[in-house]
Structure 1
């Protein structure tokens, strides 16, 4: 297999199970610190020793009793709540009806292997993958009752995110949550490669610890995550070449004035520019496909010369700045919505890489799972 090939990770089977675990948590002054992020997310043989040293210094808190955790964080005025636990990955789905977790992007096997090796070497799941679903009333009501109690921890981290964490330790309460969540089917919002790494660890180094991987499950109907656009910059590509490829692909294009171009951006319309001239690219509303699919599957393959690079930018300003003075085209993308991404996953399709940006994500270090504690 080509090392750069993109594949669909295996599927975890229902019921969806989040299991209690003993959490490690960094001190607030270390959460949101770039140095802490690098220490926990880059390959390093000394991570376990470093965590023990930080614990001795009072900079790591260890919960002795296994728990599920309700984690609420506020970033830039947006509040998100999620249930954090060890996601059971020990069972594989053999049919679509059995699937508990839906990826919407492919993964590079070599990257997943590297992450699995790193987690095994560090002996931790440094941060939860982010799952999102349409929650059920039973679970929502139960978690609302949890929120009425005193949080286990409440703090503002170094990156100015505000956090509240509640521990759920009562076995009966955990069982009720398990029953409510068993039928759930969740979409991976962030962490496709880490999810695939969990599955590789479970197969290659089977143990109670590797039968699960850290995950946060967010109810999109309670505290919705925001989906931002990720814009494209096509290297060594001209705007005329994009127009010609659009014509060959049956995509309607139209020249527009610069001052009106960005306002034309919509679910059915992309906007492209070389920094001087602007065009819109139309996506058929009845196609059932997202604009990013049309761009990567229909238009880019019909360019007479493939782009030398495809850059990704989270703001239109950054994408437009990247074309100035260069032979490049910026393609401004409409943001997908949650239902669009769900429909792609339900249709057994994968979006191109970096098609979605679910925000805000929690800073690393609030909840860590130590594999040696399992």
Structure 2
């Protein structure tokens, strides 16, 4: 289903962050701190804080978070995203999802956050920042960071806390008319909206519930872009001959190639497929506003004479090819451009499940938002 649309103005509110110490960030054992029973997570973090494993800011801030991984550096603004308003018209939308969500999964995540009383990690949003906002980011990043460290997973982090009224006012003004695309975290976004509806009301005079907000990181895709990679497929119960029959029934060009030529032909207009022995290329004949993954799932798969009985998803070509065999073909996908994903989202369409892979994502535990004693003043 389509998650609801948050209405503008786009607002990131200051919050008092919890931060795991560097030896806990990116540490595989850290995930256990956020595991069942979820109602005990806050108490666990308090125990970690007493042992020096968690740092807690005493004053709310917006945080400029810069992280580097695998030769890429990403910088984004982390704050509490206002999700309290719903858009009635397309032009009112502030947040644009591009994938659908499973309601049960969103409900489960909302239950977890309510039990944990935490937003354990920010969702990732991308937008095109304004010149004044980029200038402010550069000015902040030119100063000494409040925190700078390498985590256990190899990511390098620098964090600046923004608290001065002038900078916060500039950020609010420059973000107000923005639209942001969800790069990662569609189900957590939907969980934020469920919690907001579930716990709507005024907890105390002059405040509103902390669930009116959800943790988010907003990345300027023009300044320090995330990499958008493809997610390949393995179609079980389907043969390369089935794929040929489907393509020909749709009037699409299907040709056998060598492996090298098939991989080289992969593009926004072409898919490459293999059963581990033979290789084929399908020319999709799609327009500039349609993604290859849409053509595969909405036209080719329904036309298959057999299968697929299941679909497996792979972030690397090697993983995809590992599943190729005569009765399970691997389909190598091109990555859609960010501009195309934005056009799809702006047109109120959703891409099929696992259509995009924005990378790199920040390690778990860098910035956490507590929902305890976090009621905020009304806008």
Same fold (TM over 0.5): yes
- The 1:353/1:43 distance shift into structure 2, 3 A limit, reads farther
State whether structure 2 residue 143 is matched by structure 1 residue 149: yes
Contact between 2:35 and 2:41, CA under 8 Å: does it hold in 1?
no
Further displaced range: 45-54 or 18-27: 45-54
2: CA distance, partners of 1:289 / 1:271:
18
TM-score, structure 2 as length reference: 0.95
State whether structure 2 residue 344 is matched by structure 1 residue 344: yes
Q: Which runs of structure 2 are paired with 1:6-25 in the superposition (5 Å)?
A: 7-25=1-19
Matching residue within 77, 83, 90 for 1:83: 77
Further displaced range: 257-266 or 165-174: 257-266
Runs of 4+, deviation exceeding 4 Å: none
Secondary structure of the 2:134 match is helix
2: CA distance, partners of 1:74 / 1:200:
33
For residue 282 of structure 2, what is the aligned residue in structure 1? 281
State whether structure 2 residue 235 is matched by structure 1 residue 234: yes
Contact between 1:26 and 1:365, CA under 8 Å: does it hold in 2?
yes
Contact between 2:237 and 2:327, CA under 8 Å: does it hold in 1?
yes
Secondary structure of the 1:300 match is helix
Structure 1 position 306, deviation (Å) = 2.6
- The 1:87/1:42 distance shift into structure 2, 3 A limit, reads farther
Secondary structure of the 2:189 match is helix
For residue 221 of structure 1, what is the aligned residue in structure 2? 222
For residue 204 of structure 2, what is the aligned residue in structure 1? none
Contact between 2:286 and 2:292, CA under 8 Å: does it hold in 1?
no
Secondary structure of the 1:286 match is coil
For residue 4 of structure 1, what is the aligned residue in structure 2? none
Aligned alpha-carbon RMSD (Å)? 1.2
State whether structure 2 residue 296 is matched by structure 1 residue 302: no
Contact between 1:28 and 1:155, CA under 8 Å: does it hold in 2?
yes
For residue 324 of structure 2, what is the aligned residue in structure 1? 323
Secondary structure of the 2:321 match is helix
Contact between 2:40 and 2:116, CA under 8 Å: does it hold in 1?
yes
Contact between 2:293 and 2:333, CA under 8 Å: does it hold in 1?
yes
State whether structure 2 residue 121 is matched by structure 1 residue 102: no
Q: Which runs of structure 2 are paired with 1:143-182 in the superposition (5 Å)?
A: 143-182=137-176
Structure 1 position 20, deviation (Å) = 0.3
2: CA distance, partners of 1:19 / 1:228:
31
- The 1:221/1:42 distance shift into structure 2, 3 A limit, reads farther
2: CA distance, partners of 1:38 / 1:353:
27
Secondary structure of the 2:372 match is helix
Structure 1 position 365, deviation (Å) = 0.4
2: CA distance, partners of 1:282 / 1:143:
43
Gaps in structure 1 of 5+ consecutive residues: 1-6
2: CA distance, partners of 1:196 / 1:233:
28
Gaps in structure 2 of 5+ consecutive residues: 201-207, 375-379
Contact between 1:12 and 1:89, CA under 8 Å: does it hold in 2?
yes
Say how many residue pairs are matched: 367
The CA deviation string for residues 119-138 of structure 1, in whole angstroms up to 9 with x for no partner, is 00001000000000111111
Structure 1 position 41, deviation (Å) = 6.1
For residue 373 of structure 2, what is the aligned residue in structure 1? 373
For residue 70 of structure 1, what is the aligned residue in structure 2? 64
1: CA distance, partners of 2:259 / 2:164:
60
2: CA distance, partners of 1:250 / 1:288:
20
For residue 210 of structure 2, what is the aligned residue in structure 1? 209
For residue 3 of structure 1, what is the aligned residue in structure 2? none
State whether structure 2 residue 355 is matched by structure 1 residue 355: yes
Contact between 1:41 and 1:126, CA under 8 Å: does it hold in 2?
no
2: CA distance, partners of 1:20 / 1:80:
20
Matching residue within 187, 194, 203 for 1:200: 194
Structure 1 position 373, deviation (Å) = 3.4
2: CA distance, partners of 1:358 / 1:205:
31
TM-score, structure 1 as length reference: 0.96
2: CA distance, partners of 1:184 / 1:34:
36
